[in-house]
Amino acid sequence: MRRSRERGEEWFTALYVTHYSHVVKYALRRLADLDASIDLAQEVFVVAWRRRVQVPDHGLPWLYGVARRLLANHWRARRSAPTVVLLTVDGGEYAHAEPPADQGVSDRLAAVRAALGELSYMDQEILRLVGWEELTVSEAATVLGCRRATAAVRLHRARRRLSEALRSVSVDGSTTASARL
């Protein structure tokens, strides 16, 4: 009870201000819909307020875990699997961004997009958490609800499968070199 009193409006405001944009971007990279991402972020913070006693001091991985579960519920409700959408740093989709001046960059991006599409959802998720969200393996484990060692093995295997998928993807009739996330 004491911790919930310590975690009042001031604590929640600090949590919200610090992490809201990260949660929206996390959702946007998975939903590719800004309004839906904002709605999801609001739901995440409603859960955080209700369960404030359970939120660890370093709350971002915990918030990502809540967002991940809410997204799973969203996809189950829609009966559709998520699609990978690669976004630029500012949140725009690569498909709508200006084409890179270097055609080789565009070819590599297409190869990565195709290779990611061949991976399982769990492989994509661990790669996104570490690559896009810039989480440590320990933080990714918190999001995924598993031990650090399990997350490390999943990341290693996902990187290997991505590398294999990249080798099998043909760009202009040639085989691409493997890339490492």
Q: For residues 98 and 159, state if they share a domain.
A: yes
Q: How many domains does the chain have?
A: 2
pTM over 0.75: no
**3-class secondary structure, 122:** helix
Write down the pLDDT at residue 153: 97
Domain housing 68:
1-83
Task: Assess contact for 165 and 119: CB atoms under 8 A.
Answer: yes
Residue finishing a domain among 83, 115, 140:
83
178 alpha carbon, distance to own chain's centre:
22
Write down the pLDDT at residue 109: 73
Write down the pLDDT at residue 86: 56
How far apart are alpha carbons 159 and 126 in whole angstroms?
9
What CATH code is carried by the domain that includes residue 14?
1.10.1740.10
How far apart are alpha carbons 29 and 71 in whole angstroms?
12
Q: For residues 96 and 172, state if they share a domain.
A: yes
Residues in the chain where the model's pLDDT stays below 70: 1-5, 78-106, 170-181
Task: Assess contact for 19 and 59: CB atoms under 8 A.
Answer: yes
**Residue with tokens 């996330």, as numbered in its chain:** 181
Q: For residues 61 and 144, state if they share a domain.
A: no
What CATH code is carried by the domain that includes residue 107?
1.10.10.10
